[in-house]
């Protein structure tokens, strides 16, 4: 998974970018009893986060992530940006409430990688 660090196409807040990612494992149609046993083990409770089916095809979600990238150089108010989102993002407000400071300028003034 990859995403740009600045959401240039976000109309509501161009200094933030919501992202989501999931990894799925498609189950093969079993060719023999061994494949069938493998699928049965993978379909056991607690092995995957979710199971979904489309017709005969099944897939397991084995990893799911979501997050928010905030461009601290461009965002007007970090707390206002987090507060305007859901409660999961507002949970991080205490990290920024003291002074809402921006990162210190980088040596050379460039905006290179961190």
pLDDT tens per residue, range 6-36: 444 555 666 777 788 989 888 888 888 888 8
Q: Name the more confident of 77 and 100.
A: 77
Question: For residue 100, is pLDDT > 80?
Answer: no
Cα separation values, 67 from 3, 8, 18, 20, 45, Å: 11, 17, 6, 6, 27
- Full-prediction pTM beyond 0.85? no
The predicted-structure confidence for 28-87, as pLDDT tens digits, reads as follows 888 888 888 888 888 888 888 888 887 778 888 989 998 888 887 888 778 777 777 777
Closest residue by Cα to residue 28 from 40, 15, 16 = 40
Quote the pLDDT of residue 112. Answer: 46
Q: Is 93 helix (H, G, I), strand (E, B) or coil?
A: helix
């Amino acid at each position: 998974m990859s995403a740009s660090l600045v959401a240039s196409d976000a109309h509501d807040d161009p200094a933030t970018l919501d992202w989501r990612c999931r990894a799925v494992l498609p189950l093969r149609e079993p060719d023999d009893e061994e494949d069938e046993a493998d699928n049965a083990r993978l379909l056991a409770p607690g092995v995957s986060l979710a199971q979904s089916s489309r017709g005969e095809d099944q897939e397991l979600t084995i990893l799911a992530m979501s997050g928010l990238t905030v461009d601290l150089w461009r965002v007007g108010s970090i707390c206002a940006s987090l507060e305007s989102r859901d409660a999961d993002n507002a949970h991080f407000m205490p990290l920024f409430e003291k002074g809402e400071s921006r990162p210190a300028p980088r040596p050379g003034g460039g905006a290179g990688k961190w």
